[in-house]
């Protein structure tokens, strides 16, 4: 009697059924979840029934869904020519839907439909069992119906999964612009990971994030840069500086050079501005979904910067709100499986520190605890004159931390280079910083000389 209650998917229309077949062909996780509860009889045409049955049978045997090649071989075995033509049509229709933006919705609805069918049938059987007072059997049937269509993927099976670990090699990373940092990070930041640059106001947090964005674009990646402080056009100008090597003031005089430098870029950049404290992680989440619907899939996201985002939860203490934003950002990185870089404010007292460590992170260190990689940036007054600075690794989930790198930092052109201490460049910069007073004296003397030389007639 199980089937008297069975409805079919006809009520959702033909293209809906076509999209289900499309999902079965492209999403192995969906097949695993629905294989036991999706009945061939739910589909209305013989061609759809044939395709669903073929995919199910193939999956049971080979534990994965068939490729287009294998389906074509199955179709070739069909004797009835009219049916064969219909199947090829259905298959073509399903294949055309594979990029549709509403497939997630279709999968959810289909799972829900199938679960409901199982539940209805279980209740009907329970009625019969009630009459014969077989109560234990009822519990068994209902329990089984409740677990129908649950996610099958229990996780990574360690003992049998060695080969999988070796082929995947765990992390797929997007490198930063600096080899010294990439080596420490085991290649860079991976999907689902959060990197944070910590610095006091006006030291160059944004420049550092933009340097990471520029490097990704040069490598042919798509970057989405969210700015909550500077407007989009201004951030664009800063990217122009980094890409062309010209200071902001010169850009208009070197338009052709800048354009040529931009034309050479292999990747893509989208800059989205939200006024301070108006955007929450949900705002960015919605924007990323919008981008995906328009066929823009980012490889890297930059949020400048997390401390001035709005928390989606109301905490009485500001530091808890900010801490929550970092947790949500990392959660979002995981959902979209992309690396996210952001920045954090260090407190005022750190302005004259040689190295900014964890204790100088303003509001609360716990906010950056969520991150996978945290690096601070320090520049004293003399560093600003000498275009030098230090990057210090506060936290590193992929390797050693507590390491300080000398760096060249020129915020006129956005040129930032981070050196290994023992390299030629590293030694030169270190030397410059060690003799900062002498360097400043020389620079000022030279400026005075230039000034005097001009003379006032």
CB 154 within 8 A of CB 138: no
Structure tokens at 296: 């823009």
Range with the poorest average pLDDT among 107-121, 142-156, 385-399, 421-435: 142-156
Q: For residue 219, how far is the Cα from the chain centroid?
A: 17
Cα Rg, the chain, nearest whole Å: 30
Locate CATH 3.40.50.300 in the chain.
Answer: 173-446
**pLDDT score, position 235:** 94
Q: Name the 3-class secondary structure at 280.
A: strand
Task: Please give the share of the chain, as a percent, with pLDDT higher than 70.
Answer: 92
Q: Is 281 left (phi over 0), alpha (psi -120 to 50) or beta?
A: alpha
Structure tokens at 373: 């990689």
pLDDT tens digits for range 197-229:
999 888 899 999 999 999 999 999 999 999 998
Structure tokens at 241: 């500086």
Q: What is the 3-state secondary structure (H, E, C) of 188-203?
A: CEECCCEEEEEECCCC
Give the contacts of 356 (CB within 8 A, at least 6 positions apart).
Answer: 198, 199, 200, 346, 350, 376, 377, 378, 392, 394
**pLDDT score, position 445:** 78
Residue among 27, 86, 343 at smallest CA distance from 213: 343
pLDDT band at 356 (very low <50, low <70, confident <90, very high): confident
**pLDDT score, position 437:** 66
CB 111 within 8 A of CB 33: yes
pLDDT tens digits for range 406-420:
999 998 889 999 998
CB 346 within 8 A of CB 169: no
Q: How far apart are CA 111 and CA 425, in angstroms?
A: 59
**pLDDT score, position 453:** 63
Place domain 173-446 in its CATH homologous superfamily. Answer: P-loop containing nucleotide triphosphate hydrolases (3.40.50.300)
**pLDDT score, position 40:** 93
Give the contacts of 192 (CB within 8 A, at least 6 positions apart).
Answer: 330, 333, 334, 337, 338, 339
CATH of domain 9-147: 1.10.860
Instruction: Over range 300-320, report the average pLDDT.
Output: 81
Strand partners, 417: 408
Residue among 249, 208, 253 at smallest CA distance from 390: 208
pLDDT tens digits for range 59-98:
988 888 898 889 989 999 999 999 999 999 999 999 999 8
Residue 153: pLDDT over 70: no
Q: For residue 14, how far is the Cα from the chain centroid?
A: 34
**pLDDT score, position 64:** 85
Instruction: Over range 56-61, report the average pLDDT.
Output: 91
Q: How far apart are CA 2 and CA 7, in angstroms?
A: 11
Residue 109: pLDDT over 60: yes
Locate CATH 1.10.860 in the chain.
Answer: 9-147
Q: How far apart are CA 195 and CA 332, in angstroms?
A: 13
Compute the C-alpha angle 197/201/202, nearest 5°: 100
DSSP code of residue 380: -
Q: How far apart are CA 192 and CA 339, in angstroms?
A: 5
- The torsion angles phi and psi of 182, rounded to 5 degrees, stand at -60, -40
Instruction: Over range 18-27, report the average pLDDT.
Output: 93
pLDDT: which is higher, 166 or 405: 405
Residue 363: pLDDT over 60: no
CB 197 within 8 A of CB 407: no
**pLDDT score, position 310:** 83
Residue 1: pLDDT over 80: no
pLDDT band at 364 (very low <50, low <70, confident <90, very high): low
User: In terms of C-beta density within 10 A (0-12 exposed, 13-18 middle, 19 or more buried), how is residue 252 classed?
Assistant: exposed
CB 243 within 8 A of CB 225: no
Residue 35: pLDDT over 50: yes
The bridge status of strand 173-174 relative to strand 189-190 is antiparallel
Task: Please give the share of the chain, as a percent, with pLDDT higher than 90.
Answer: 46
pLDDT tens digits for range 381-392:
888 888 899 999
CB 150 within 8 A of CB 33: yes
**pLDDT score, position 423:** 86
pLDDT band at 113 (very low <50, low <70, confident <90, very high): very high
**pLDDT score, position 3:** 46
- Number of neighbours of residue 84 by Cβ within 10 angstroms: 16
Instruction: Please give the biggest Cα pair distance in the chain.
Output: 116
Buried b (16+ CB within 10 A) or exposed e, 210-225: bbbbbbbbeeebbbbb
Question: What sign for the dihedral angle of Cα 404, 410, 416, 421?
Answer: negative
Buried b (16+ CB within 10 A) or exposed e, 384-415: bebbbbbbbbbbbebeebebbbbbbbbbebbe
Count of residues for the chain?
A: 457
Give me the half-sphere count of Cα atoms (radius 13 Å) on the Cβ side of residue 186: 14
- Mean pLDDT across the chain: 86
Q: Which residue has the tokens 């075995």?
A: 77
């Amino acid at each position: 009697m199980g089937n008297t209650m069975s409805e079919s998917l006809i009520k959702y229309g033909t293209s809906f059924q076509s999209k289900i077949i499309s999902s079965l062909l492209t999403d192995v996780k969906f097949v695993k979840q629905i294989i036991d509860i999706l009945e061939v009889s739910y589909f209305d045409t013989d061609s759809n029934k044939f395709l669903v049955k073929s995919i199910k049978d193939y999956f049971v045997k080979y534990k994965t869904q068939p490729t287009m090649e294998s389906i074509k071989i199955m179709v070739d075995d069909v004797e009835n020519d009219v049916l064969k033509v219909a199947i090829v049509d259905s298959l073509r229709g399903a294949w055309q839907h594979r990029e549709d933006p509403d497939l997630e919705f279709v999968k959810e609805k289909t799972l829900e439909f199938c679960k409901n069918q199982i539940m209805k049938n279980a209740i009907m059987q329970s009625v019969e069992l009630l009459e014969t007072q077989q109560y234990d059997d009822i519990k068994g049937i209902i329990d089984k119906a409740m677990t129908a269509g649950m996610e099958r993927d229990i996780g990574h099976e360690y003992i049998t999964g060695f080969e999988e670990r070796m082929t995947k090699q765990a992390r797929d990373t997007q490198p930063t612009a600096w080899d010294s940092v990439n080596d420490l990070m085991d290649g860079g930041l991976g999907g689902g990971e959060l990197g944070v640059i910590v610095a006091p106001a006006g030291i160059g947090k944004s420049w550092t994030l933009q340097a990471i964005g520029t490097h990704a674009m040069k490598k042919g990646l798509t970057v989405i840069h969210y700015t909550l402080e500077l407007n989009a056009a201004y951030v664009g100008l800063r990217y122009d500086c980094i890409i062309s090597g010209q200071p902001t003031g010169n850009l208009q005089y070197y338009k052709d050079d800048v354009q040529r430098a931009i034309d050479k870029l292999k990747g893509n950049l989208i800059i989205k501005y939200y006024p301070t404290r108006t955007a929450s992680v949900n705002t960015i989440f919605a924007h990323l979904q919008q981008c995906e619907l328009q066929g823009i899939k980012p490889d890297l996201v930059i949020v400048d910067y997390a401390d001035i985002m709005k928390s989606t939860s109301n905490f009485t203490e500001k530091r808890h709100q900010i801490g929550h934003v970092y947790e949500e950002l990392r959660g979002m990185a995981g959902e979209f499986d992309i690396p996210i870089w952001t920045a954090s404010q260090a407190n005022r007292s750190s302005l004259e520190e040689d190295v900014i460590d964890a204790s100088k992170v303003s509001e609360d260190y716990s906010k950056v605890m969520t991150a996978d990689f945290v690096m601070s940036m320090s520049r004293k007054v003399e560093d600003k004159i000498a275009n030098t600075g230090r990057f210090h690794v506060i936290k590193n989930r992929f390797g050693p931390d507590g390491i300080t790198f000398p760096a060249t930092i020129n915020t006129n052109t956005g040129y930032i280079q981070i050196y290994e201490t023992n390299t030629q460049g590293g030694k030169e910069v270190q030397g410059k910083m060690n003799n900062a007073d002498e360097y400043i004296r020389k620079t000022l003397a030279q400026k005075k000389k230039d000034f005097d030389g001009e003379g006032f007639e």
